[in-house]
Amino acid sequence: MGFADRYYNRVDASRVYRQNTWYRGKSVVFWLIAINVVVFVLDAILLNSFHIGGQINVGPAALVMGPLEYFGYFSASTAVLKLQLWRFITFQFLHASPGHIFFNMLALYFFGPMIESYLGSRRFLAFYLLCGVSGAASYLLLWGAGVLVSASWTPLVGASAGIFGVLVAGARIAPNATVMLLFPPIPMRLKVLAWILVGFGAYMVLTGGHNAGGEAAHLGGAAVGFVLIRNIQWLNFAVTGFASTRTRSRILQAPQQPKRSRHADHRAQDEIDRILMKVKNHGLASLTDKEKKALQRETERQRRVG
């Protein structure tokens, strides 16, 4: 029985993984959400209370921005024509409205811990930022090809590209995990949700619909997320990048754990299946400390072999 067939993908997988990362208070997801919220609130305070900011011409009108958004938003004219390359990163931490940041952070909260647990914190951070950068690159590519009809100064902000990468990665490692939609409040398998959102984004880009530029970024993040989650060894630089040559070799060539006997494998898997069925029927709160540790060990083992 493969990983995709086990109960990992039949219970609310996001709850299982949040138990292992988010509530420790040290997860990358926690800090990403915190940074996004602080940046949004601080920018609003600086603009509305101290009148610090800037404005850009958007057609016949002017768009007023707080200072952080003004110096951090992404556009073809700023990031490429003016070589302000930091905008490939900074736009990912900026949002245009309270609703924009609320739904982005809600999605990151639900799906981010699952991918962080699977990849490890450093790989996850690299994964998330690369998906975001790829969203900006996709926007540029489609704009340059004439698929997107917009001006070079059209601003792009938001964490959505990175979050789409996370969503697609989640659909890859836990395709049958059940998620409950907000509108309408119906359950849906994660892989179905991912395909619907990607298909909607492609349709909006091709038809020049509302927020076609943002949807172009979503598609770029989703595409790179799909590729990276299938080739997680490409993210090893995030773990070994600052290590010495000897340490790097030891990390990447660590000896494998001794293989367990077939009987032991079956016994261990039966125990994991029992624990996951208990989670499904009674929730995470019903687990003992020993069962939680066993589930954490199996999660880490699946991440290493995945």
- What are the pLDDT digits (tens) for 231-276? 999 999 998 875 555 555 555 554 444 445 555 666 777 788 787 7
Provide the CATH number for the domain around residue 71: 1.20.1540.10
Asked if residue 225 has pLDDT above 50, the reply is: yes
- Whether 274 and 151 map to the same domain: the answer is no
For residue 303, what pLDDT band results from cuts at 50, 70 and 90? low
- Whether 185 and 297 map to the same domain: the answer is no
pLDDT at 282: 65
In a domain, 42, yes or no: yes
In a domain, 19, yes or no: yes
Domain that holds residue 135: 9-240
- Whether 106 and 223 map to the same domain: the answer is yes
Question: How many angstroms from the chain centroid is the CA of residue 199?
Answer: 18
What's the pLDDT tens digit per position in 177-213? 989 888 888 999 999 999 999 999 999 999 999 899 9
In a domain, 206, yes or no: yes
- Whether 268 and 205 map to the same domain: the answer is no
pLDDT at 2: 36
What's the pLDDT tens digit per position in 134-178? 999 999 999 999 999 888 899 999 999 999 999 999 999 999 998
- Whether 270 and 171 map to the same domain: the answer is no
- Whether 122 and 265 map to the same domain: the answer is no
What is the total residue count of the chain?
306
In a domain, 215, yes or no: yes
**pTM, two decimal places:** 0.76
- Whether 165 and 269 map to the same domain: the answer is no
8-state DSSP, 175: T
pLDDT at 271: 81
* Site of tokens 């509302």: 210
In a domain, 246, yes or no: no
**What is the mean pLDDT of the segment spanning 12-34?**
67
What's the pLDDT tens digit per position in 52-62? 999 998 777 78
Number of structural domains the chain divides into: 2
Asked if residue 7 has pLDDT above 90, the reply is: no
In a domain, 245, yes or no: no
Asked if residue 107 has pLDDT above 90, the reply is: yes
- Whether 156 and 299 map to the same domain: the answer is no
- Whether 261 and 168 map to the same domain: the answer is no
Q: Which long-range contacts (CB under 8 A, 24 or more apart) does 9-13 make?
A: 9/174, 9/175, 9/176, 9/177, 10/176, 10/177, 10/178, 10/276, 10/280, 11/177, 11/178, 11/276, 11/279, 11/280, 12/177, 12/178, 12/179, 13/114, 13/170, 13/174, 13/177, 13/190
Asked if residue 4 has pLDDT above 70, the reply is: no
- Whether 112 and 148 map to the same domain: the answer is yes
- Whether 299 and 218 map to the same domain: the answer is no
Asked if residue 46 has pLDDT above 60, the reply is: yes
In a domain, 1, yes or no: no
Which is more confidently placed, 299 or 130? 130
- Whether 24 and 144 map to the same domain: the answer is yes
